C-alpha cells in the first residue's frame, strides 16, 4: 500500500510540474505571441544569432520541443536554412538546461508570491497581462512541484528494493540510458526527467548516465511530431536527435570520471542539473563547427520525395455536392486553403529572393499567381451555383469563403505586381539596405507570413479569440510600418548614403506589406462583427 501511495505522490508531483510547464508555455505565447516566432525567424542570419534565438525562445516557452517544431516549420517553408536551424536547436538544448539550473537554486520559497502575482494578473483582460499571469502561475506550480517531488521521493532513498534496482542499473549503463530516454519520452519533457533524477539519491556515475538518457529522449517527441511533415522539417528534428545520440555515445564510457570532475565544482545545484548543463554546453561547442556537415548528412539520409505534377484543376470542388450545401461548402473551404497555401508560397519565394539577393525564387511567383487567379474564379463560380436547399447560415458561410478567396487573390496581385518587381529591382541593381532597414523589412515579411497562417486558422475555426488576436496583429504591423518609415526618414536626414539610394524602394516595400496584412486580417471581420466586437470607424468618439 505504501508503494502505491509513493507512486501516486511522485506521479502527482510530476503531473503538476508538467502542467506548470504547459501554463508557462501558454502564458508566454499569449503574452508575446508572434514576437517569439519573429525572434526565431529573424535570429538566423549568423550562427551566433541563431544560437541566441534558440536559447531565448526556449527560455520563454520552457520547451525545446516547441522551439524545434517552430524551427522545423520555418525550414519547411524556406524561411531559414537547415544549418542555422541546427545551431538554433543547440541553443534550445542549453535553454532547457539553464531552466533546470535556475529552478534548483533554492527559490522554492518564492512559489506562493509568484502564484499570488500570477492570479492577480490573470484576472486582467489585456492579453499581455493575462498571459504574463498565466506564466507566473506556471512558474509557481513548477517550483511547488519540486518541493512535493523532494518529499515524495524521500522514502525511495531508504527502500532496499530501489537500492537493488539502482545497483542493477549501475552495472548496465546502456540499459539505464535507454530507461531514462523512455521515461523522458513518456513525460515529453527532458526538464521534468532531469528534475526527477535530481530528486533521487543515486550513485554519481549512474546520475550522469540517466541525464544522458534524458537528453537523448528529449529529442524524440519533436521527431515524432514532425513525422508527417516535409523532408526539410524532418531533417531538422532528426539532425537534433543524431547530435544528442552522438554526444551520449561519446560521453557514456567516461560517465564516472565526468561525474567525479563535476563533483569538484561547488555549484550547489546538484550533480544531475550540473551534468545536464555541462553536457549541452560541451555538445554545442563541439557540434557548432560541424553543423553544416550535419545538415548535409541529413539531406542524404532523408532525401526529397519525388515531386508530383501540380494540380491545375481544383481538387475539392465536386459538382455532385452542389445539392448538398454542407458538403459543397466544406469542399470550397478546402479549396480556399489550397489557394492560401499558394499565396503563402508566393510570399515565401519573394522573401527568399529578398534575403538571398537572388531573383531565381521569383520565377515561381508568376506561375503561382496565374494559378491563384484561376482557382479563385472557379471557387466563385462554384459557390454561385449552390443549391436552393442552402440555409441562411450556409449562404453566410459562402459569402465568408468568397471574401476570403477574393482577398487572397488581391494579396497575390500585390505580391506579383508590387513586391516581386521591387525585389527584382533590388537584386538587379545590387541595392543594399542599411542593417536597420533590412531588419525592419524582413521582420514585416516574417510577420506577414505568420499572419497568413493565423488567418487560415481563423477562417476554418471561426474562433473569436484568434480573430481578435489577428486584428490586434494588424494594429501592431501598422505601428511597425509607421515606425520603420519614420526611422528611414531619420536615416535620410542623418545623411546615410545607403538609405538615400533605397529610399523609394524601402517605402514601397513597407506599403505593399501593409496592404497584404490589411487583406489578410479581413477574414476576422465577419466573426468579430457578429459578436459586436468590431467598431464601424477608427474615429475617436467625442
Give the Cα separation of 460 and 453 in Å (integer): 11
- DSSP code, position 50: H
pLDDT in tens, 190-205: 888 888 888 877 888 8
Exposed, middle or buried by CB within 10 Å (0-12, 13-18, 19+), for 340? Answer: buried
Give the Cα separation of 7 and 13 in Å (integer): 10
How confident is the model at residue 387, as a pLDDT?
A: 66
pLDDT in tens, 458-495: 898 888 888 888 888 888 888 888 888 888 888 888 88
State the cell numbers at 375: 482557382
- DSSP code, position 417: I
What are the angstrom distances between the C-alpha of 399 and each of 64, 108, 395? 41, 55, 6
What does the pLDDT profile of the chain (542 residues) look like in tens digits? 467 777 787 788 778 878 887 787 777 777 666 666 666 666 666 788 888 888 888 887 777 888 888 888 878 776 778 888 889 899 988 988 888 888 777 677 778 888 888 888 888 877 777 888 888 888 888 778 877 877 777 776 666 766 677 778 888 889 889 988 988 888 778 888 888 888 877 888 888 999 999 999 988 988 888 887 888 888 999 999 999 999 999 999 998 898 888 888 766 668 888 899 999 999 999 998 988 888 888 888 888 775 544 454 556 787 777 778 888 888 888 999 999 999 999 999 998 888 888 888 888 898 899 899 998 888 888 888 876 667 888 888 888 899 999 999 999 999 999 999 999 988 888 888 888 888 888 888 888 888 898 899 889 888 888 888 888 888 888 888 888 888 888 888 888 888 788 888 888 999 999 999 999 998 888 887 776 666 666 656 55
- Residue 438: which of 335, 330, 343, 357 has the closest Cα? 357
Domains parsed from the chain with CATH numbers: 2-301 (no CATH), 319-530 (1.20.58.220)
What are the angstrom distances between the C-alpha of 248 and each of 99, 209, 214, 216, 488? 21, 8, 10, 7, 50
Give the Cα separation of 32 and 235 in Å (integer): 28
* Helix/strand/coil (H/E/C) assignment for every residue in 229-275: CCHHHHHHHHHHHHHHHHHHHHHHHHHHHHHHHHHCCCCCCCHHHHH
Question: 12 and 5 in contact (C-beta within 8 Å)?
Answer: no
Q: Which residues contact 58 (CB under 8 A, 6 or more apart)?
A: 64, 66, 67, 91, 92, 93, 95, 96, 99
Give the Cα separation of 45 and 201 in Å (integer): 44
Give the Cα separation of 75 and 86 in Å (integer): 10
How confident is the model at residue 245, as a pLDDT?
A: 93
Which residue has 512535493 as its cell numbers?
148
Q: What is the DSSP string of 450-511?
A: HHHHHHHHHHHH--HHHHHHHHHHHHHHHHHHHHHHHHHHHHHHTT-HHHHHTHHHHHHHHH
Give the Cα separation of 114 and 142 in Å (integer): 11
Question: 27 and 61 in contact (C-beta within 8 Å)?
Answer: no
Give the Cα separation of 541 and 520 in Å (integer): 27
* Whole-prediction pTM: 0.72
Which residue has 525572434 as its cell numbers?
39
| C-alpha dihedral sign at 63, 65, 68, 72 | negative
Please provide residue 46's backbone torsions phi and psi, each rounded to the nearest 5 degrees.
-130, 165
Give the Cα separation of 210 and 198 in Å (integer): 10
Which residue has 527568399 as its cell numbers?
352
| Burial letters 437-447, b for 16+ CB under 10 A, else e | bbebbbbbbbb
Amino acid at each position: 500500500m505504501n508503494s502505491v501511495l509513493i507512486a501516486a505522490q511522485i506521479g502527482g508531483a510530476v503531473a503538476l510540474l508538467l502542467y506548470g510547464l504547459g501554463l508557462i508555455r501558454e502564458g508566454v505565447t499569449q503574452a508575446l505571441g508572434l514576437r517569439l516566432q519573429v525572434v526565431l525567424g529573424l535570429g538566423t542570419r549568423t550562427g551566433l544569432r541563431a544560437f541566441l534565438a534558440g536559447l531565448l525562445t526556449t527560455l520563454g516557452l520552457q520547451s525545446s520541443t516547441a522551439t524545434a517544431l517552430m524551427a522545423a516549420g520555418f525550414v519547411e517553408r524556406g524561411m531559414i536554412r537547415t544549418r542555422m536551424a541546427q545551431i538554433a536547436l543547440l541553443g534550445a538544448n542549453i535553454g532547457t538546461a539553464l531552466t533546470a539550473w535556475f529552478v534548483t537554486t533554492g527559490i522554492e520559497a518564492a512559489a506562493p508570491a509568484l502564484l499570488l502575482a500570477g492570479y492577480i494578473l490573470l484576472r486582467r483582460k489585456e492579453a499581455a497581462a493575462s498571459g504574463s499571469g498565466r506564466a507566473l502561475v506556471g512558474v509557481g506550480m513548477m517550483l511547488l512541484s519540486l518541493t512535493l517531488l523532494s518529499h515524495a521521493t524521500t522514502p525511495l532513498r531508504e527502500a532496499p528494493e530501489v537500492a537493488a534496482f539502482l545497483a542493477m542499473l549501475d552495472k548496465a549503463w546502456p540499459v539505464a540510458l535507454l530507461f531514462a530516454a523512455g521515461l523522458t519520452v513518456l513525460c515529453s519533457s527532458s526538464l521534468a526527467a532531469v528534475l526527477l533524477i535530481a530528486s533521487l539519491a543515486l550513485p554519481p556515475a549512474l546520475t550522469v548516465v540517466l541525464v544522458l538518457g534524458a537528453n537523448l529522449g528529449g529529442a524524440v517527441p519533436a521527431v515524432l511530431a514532425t513525422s508527417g511533415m516535409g523532408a526539410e522539417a524532418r531533417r531538422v528534428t532528426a539532425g537534433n536527435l543524431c547530435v544528442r545520440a552522438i554526444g551520449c555515445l561519446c560521453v557514456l564510457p567516461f560517465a564516472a570520471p565526468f561525474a567525479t570532475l563535476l563533483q569538484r565544482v561547488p555549484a550547489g545545484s546538484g550533480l544531475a542539473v550540473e551534468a545536464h548543463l555541462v553536457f549541452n554546453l560541451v555538445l554545442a561547442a563541439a557540434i557548432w563547427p560541424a553543423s553544416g556537415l550535419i545538415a548535409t548528412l541529413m539531406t542524404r539520409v532523408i532525401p526529397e520525395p519525388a515531386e508530383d505534377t501540380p494540380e491545375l484543376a481544383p481538387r475539392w470542388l465536386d459538382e455532385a455536392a452542389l445539392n448538398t450545401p454542407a458538403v459543397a461548402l466544406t469542399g470550397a473551404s478546402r479549396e480556399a486553403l489550397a489557394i492560401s497555401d499558394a499565396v503563402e508560397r508566393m510570399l515565401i519565394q519573394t522573401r527568399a529572393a529578398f534575403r538571398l539577393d537572388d531573383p531565381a525564387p521569383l520565377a515561381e511567383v508568376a506561375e503561382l499567381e496565374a494559378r491563384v487567379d484561376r482557382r479563385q474564379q472557379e471557387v466563385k463560380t462554384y459557390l454561385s451555383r449552390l443549391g436552393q436547399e442552402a440555409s441562411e447560415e450556409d449562404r453566410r458561410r459562402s459569402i465568408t469563403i468568397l471574401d476570403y478567396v477574393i482577398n487572397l487573390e488581391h494579396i497575390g496581385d500585390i505580391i506579383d505586381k508590387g513586391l516581386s518587381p521591387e525585389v527584382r529591382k533590388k537584386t538587379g541593381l545590387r541595392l543594399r539596405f542599411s542593417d536597420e532597414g533590412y531588419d525592419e523589412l524582413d521582420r514585416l515579411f516574417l510577420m506577414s507570413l505568420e499572419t497568413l497562417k493565423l488567418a487560415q486558422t481563423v477562417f476554418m475555426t471561426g474562433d473569436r479569440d484568434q480573430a481578435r488576436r489577428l486584428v490586434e496583429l494588424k494594429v501592431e504591423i501598422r505601428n511597425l510600418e509607421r515606425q520603420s518609415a519614420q526611422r528611414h526618414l531619420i536615416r535620410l536626414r542623418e545623411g546615410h548614403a545607403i538609405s538615400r539610394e533605397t529610399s523609394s524602394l524601402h517605402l514601397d516595400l513597407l506599403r505593399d506589406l501593409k496592404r497584404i496584412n490589411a487583406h489578410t486580417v479581413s477574414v476576422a471581420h465577419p466573426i468579430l462583427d457578429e459578436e459586436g466586437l468590431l467598431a464601424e470607424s477608427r474615429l475617436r468618439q467625442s
